[in-house]
Amino acid sequence: MSEIIQEQLPYADTALEPVVSAKTISFHYGKHHAGYVAALNKLIAGTPYAGLALEGIVRRAAAEGATAIFNNAAQAWNHAFYWKCLAPAGRGGEPTGAFAAAVARDFGSKDVLVKALADASVKRFGSGWAWLVAENGKLSVVSTANAETPITRAGVTPLLTVDVWEHAYYLDWQNRRADYAAALLAQLANWNFASAAYPA
């Protein structure tokens, strides 16, 4: 059986400071994300899920109502995606190409899009995620609770996400979720990644 491996961070644990501190990374990536991967590997050992890619596990578990497997697989996937959505300040670029055109068409400007993502982050009650997604080429902002993820919906491509579980921000921002979301999107959003992920 091949285990699910936690992907390495694409930057040093200090690279996102001061918005996301190395201490937060140590808990968020080193404990929470790693914990989902470890729990998932235990749950799927000796089952038909063993050997599937992580995305396949998420989709199959959602379809079959395998709640424990889904929760850990989806959180493992969501977190791996989240780390790619961030870049050290000044390195995230700007929307380009077909993605930039879609932002202008569907939101009017990047600033309007950022506000929509920030609002979705703040308005998500409890734990969850705010997402920028493409469906049939059209961009929209959605939020999901707990481990829910857009990849369970056919034809939906996630492009960017904000993690609004408390472990993502509480050590640095305490209860100021709005400030965390605003700073994350203003300073660390990886628009190069979103541009590349957009299904033109």
**pLDDT one-digit tens code per residue, 89-127:** 999 999 999 999 999 999 999 999 999 999 999 999 889
Mean pLDDT, rounded, for 16-38: 97
State whether residue 130 is helix, strand or coil. strand
Read off the tokens for 10. 């694409």
**Which among 106, 109, 108, 131 is positioned nearest to 181, based on CA atoms?**
131
Average pLDDT over residues 71-83: 98
Predicted TM-score (pTM) of the model is: 0.96
8 Å CB contact between 133 and 157: yes
Question: Length of the chain, please?
Answer: 200
Q: Is 35 exposed, middle or buried (0-12, 13-18, 19+ CB in 10 A)?
A: middle
pLDDT of residue 41: 97
1: pLDDT strictly greater than 70: no
pLDDT tops 70 at residue 191: yes
Mean pLDDT for the chain overall: 96
pLDDT tens digits for range 46-60: 999 998 999 999 999
Instruction: Confirm if 83 and 7 have CB atoms less than 8 A apart.
Output: yes
Q: What pLDDT, on a 0 to 100 scale, did the predictor assign at position 146?
A: 97
pLDDT score of 176 more than 70: yes
Residues sharing a CB contact under 8 Å with residue 177, sequence separation 6 or more, in sequence order: 121, 122, 164, 169
Evaluate if residue 2 carries a pLDDT over 90. no
Would you state the structure tokens that stand for residue 17, as one six-digit string?
């400071």
Does the bond joining 18 to the residue before it have cis omega, within 30 degrees of 0? yes
Q: Are strands 138-145 and 156-163 parallel, antiparallel or unpaired?
A: unpaired
Q: What is the pLDDT, as a whole number, of residue 53?
A: 97
Domains of the chain: 22-84 (1.10.287.990), 97-197 (3.55.40.20)
